Amino acid sequence: MSASLKSEVRRLNVIHLLVWLLVAAQVTVSRLKLLPPDTVAVPYQWEYVYLLSIVPLLCSSLSLPKNNISYLVLSMISAGLFSVAPLIYGAMEMFPLAQQLYRYGKAYRFIFGFSAVTVMYLVMVVAVQVHAWQLYCMKQLLDSWFNATQEKKKK
């Protein structure tokens, strides 16, 4: 069971890294003004905090080779703080703009011609699913490792 969960967590880490790279690219391109502001929108506040979600990714990657429970727990806690919490805040931050887009059809920020709100909500939908499944798999993996260590102590 541990091997299959590790494989799943590794796959989810790759997807998390891809989402993180998309957000990091948008923030970098915008901050360094590599493209005009009408091409790539100024990042929302939650995107800066979401960049810290690389921490749980690194911790979970470090925990897998040697079944390190401490790193896995640290990864789960930091995933809540740096991955899930910014996404919740971002959904609330962008909601008035999404509402305005829905009601009046007006968008003021764009990413390659698409409404920034729409693009970022799509990114958020993928990210929420990845992080939720990642947390579930890490919890199952933690239980598996904990039970294995308890059995070793009994012997």
The C-alpha atoms of residue 17 and residue 32 are separated, in whole angstroms, by 21
pTM over 0.75: yes
Q: Above 80 in pLDDT, residue 70?
A: yes
Distances (CA, A) of 108 to 65, 97, 101, 112, 123: 46, 9, 9, 13, 18
Torsion angle (degrees, nearest 10) of CA 79, 135, 10, 55: 10
Of the pLDDT bands very low, low, confident and very high (cuts 50, 70, 90), residue 108 is confident
Give the pLDDT of residue 154.
Answer: 75
Structure tokens at 125: 């939908």
